[in-house]
Amino acid sequence: MREIPKKNYIFLVILCLVTFFVVTYLVNWYKTSKEFYVETSIMSSFLAEIKETEIENYILENPEGVIYISYNDGKINGKFETKLKEYILKEDIKSEFVYFDCTNLEAVFFNEFQNKYFVDTLKDETISYPNFLIVEEGKIVDMLYGNERELDINDVKSFLEKNGVTKNA
């Protein structure tokens, strides 16, 4: 019977260790990137983002525009936001939009926001999230959805056309 040299065993152990560390690294990298994409909205890196403390100044300085208000959950909105991003780029209307993350905001803030900035006809409406708000002359004059439902890119296109943000195709 032929004897196997010890250097072959050493090589095998080193190969197994290297394989173990590479696989461990790749698993950790995958988990980290998956968490990042689940927790990060596509719109937060694409559109200008405003915070709760900036919304009043934004509306004063930009009396016309569209606010995309959503929670920062790429897993739920990821497919829709990808289509929305493509549509915004195709129509060249990125400058009209701003992203407002409502993930950690209190209901009190939304009640005050609604009372202060919504036109009288919308003050009694329930805001659902995610949603699109049209700002004209410093007031919210229209919103896409009054009650909670899944976002649809065709609804958004019609809504933006109706409010003069885009032209009819």
pLDDT surpasses 90 at 124 = no
CB 132 within 8 A of CB 156: yes
Q: What are phi and psi of 46, to 5 degrees?
A: -100, -45
- 7-56 per-position pLDDT tens digit: 999 999 999 999 999 999 999 988 877 665 555 677 777 888 888 888 88
pLDDT surpasses 70 at 102 = yes
CB 17 within 8 A of CB 73: no
pLDDT of residue 120: 79
pLDDT band at 161, cuts 50/70/90?
A: very high
Contacts of 39 by beta carbon, 8 Å cutoff, 6+ apart: 72, 73, 74
CB 72 within 8 A of CB 44: yes
- 64-74 per-position pLDDT tens digit: 999 998 877 55
CA distance 17 to 65: 57
CA distance 135 to 114: 12
CB 109 within 8 A of CB 102: no
- Using CB atoms within 10 A of its CB, is residue 140 exposed (0-12), middle (13-18) or buried (19+)? buried
Alpha helices in 62-126 (DSSP H): 74-91, 107-117
pLDDT surpasses 90 at 144 = no
What is the average pLDDT value for the chain, to the nearest integer? 83
CB 66 within 8 A of CB 160: yes
